[in-house]
Amino acid sequence: MTLLAAAGPGFGQQLKVKPLVTDLFTADPSAHVFDGRIYIYPSHDIEANVPQDDEGGHFNMRDYHVYSMDSIGGKVTDHGVALDLKDIPWAGRQLWAPDAAFRNGTYYLYFPAKDKDDVFRIGVATSRSPAGPFKAEPQPIPGSYSIDPAVFTDTDGQAYLYFGGIWGGQLQRWHTGRYDKTLSTDLGKGREQEPALSAKVAKLSGDMLTFAETPRDVRIVDANGKPLLAGDHDRRFFEGAWMHKFNGKYYFSYSTGDTHYLCYAESDSPYGPFTYKGVLMKPVEGWTTHHSMVEFRGKWYIFYHDAELSGKTHLRNIKVRELVRNQDGSIKTIDP
Ligand code: FUB
């Protein structure tokens, strides 16, 4: 176990926020509170010397570390390698943004990786400890595809898996229901007036290892109930889904990718449709950010990343700051 940099001064006052981890590059932080402690499940960025492209080939990560903190702003503990690419029987390359969940004494790590045919799938690994190490299931979740799994357990105990990402995340290649390698980025020019591609959601089975239903579209509509369009790059879904519940409402938040916003939308159901509400966070330093939100000791926090330490888009560092809500449940836009 290594003790690393803490959030540092300025935290909570919305001054300059410091990276949580400084000895490794980390990104895509999914945070959860397990046994009263904050656990963070990030990607572990490395310099793999792969040239940058629209497919994200330069994000060539090979393992996961789990971090934990007993308080926001406190020491960050690195629990070491929790899962390594070489120990995932079906995976070929690129361990991207993971998430975690707990049920009946077992912790579940959900992660995307390209299989041996270079198609993104979503895998599961299990552990008796939130810090791992995790043991991967021999096959990816049947019927899974694309990237960025986010698990949400509702107040009635039902767990849902949200996932998907366009461009390098390959979601567009499944547009016809079968994998089509020729479909690039967000389906291309001339489709700007069509509904945008949607993230997916599926109930998880009781053992948390399979989908209990065929994944459904997470529809996002505007205030008039019209679907957001593919050409609406400032508002449409790109990747990085997250779900949380607040005062009985479901909040679906996500990244707009090429326009670099985090946005959110609200619904009365975990399936949606979700009504677009606004920008959660303006662009950070670097190409992407990817977030999670968690309630801890009566306050809500957003975990995210930027590229402050390296100045390079593929070598990122995770951060945390407080999330401020207005009285109607809407979220104050963060300008990092
Ligand atoms: O970390 C690799 C990819 O970059 C993630 O899966 C996306 O959400 C973006 O952050």
Q: In sequence order, what DSSP letters do the residues of 124-173 get, joined into one string? A: EEEESSTT---EE-SSPPTT--SS--EEEE-TTS-EEEEE--SGGG-GGG
Q: 324 alpha carbon to ligand 1 midpoint, in Å?
A: 25
Q: How far apart are CA 161 and CA 242, in angstroms?
A: 10
Q: Are 48 and 60 in contact (CB under 8 A)?
A: yes
- Beta-bridge mates of residue 281: 262, 334
Residue whose C-alpha is closest to residue 256's, from 274, 231, 292 = 231
pLDDT number for residue 15: 62
pLDDT given for residue 67 in this prediction: 98
Q: Whose CA is nearest to atom 3 of ligand 1?
A: 96
Q: What predicted TM-score, i.e. pTM, was given to this entire model?
A: 0.95
Q: Which helix H or strand E contains 112, and what residues bound it?
A: strand 106-115
Does ligand 1 have an atom closer than 6 angstroms to the CB of 289? no
Domains of the chain, each with CATH number or no CATH: 11-322 (2.115.10.20)
What is the DSSP track for 49-88?
-PPP-TT-TT----EEEEEEESSTTS-EEEEEEEEEGGG-
pLDDT at 189: 75
Q: What is the DSSP letter of 326?
A: -
How much is the pLDDT for 206?
A: 97
Residues acting as catalytic residues = 28, 239
| pLDDT (0 to 100) of residue 186 | 77
Does residue 240's CB lie within 6 angstroms of at least one atom of ligand 1?
Answer: yes
Using most ligand atoms within 8 A of CB, pick from 147, 256, 285 the residue to mutate for ligand 1: 147
Which atom of ligand 1 lies at the shortest distance from residue 255's CA? 8
For a pocket test of ligand 1, which of 288, 291, 313 has the largest count of ligand atoms closer than 8 A to its C-beta? Answer: 288
Residues in the chain: 336
Parts of the chain with a pLDDT under 70: 1-15
Return phi, psi of residue 108, to 5°.
Answer: -120, 130
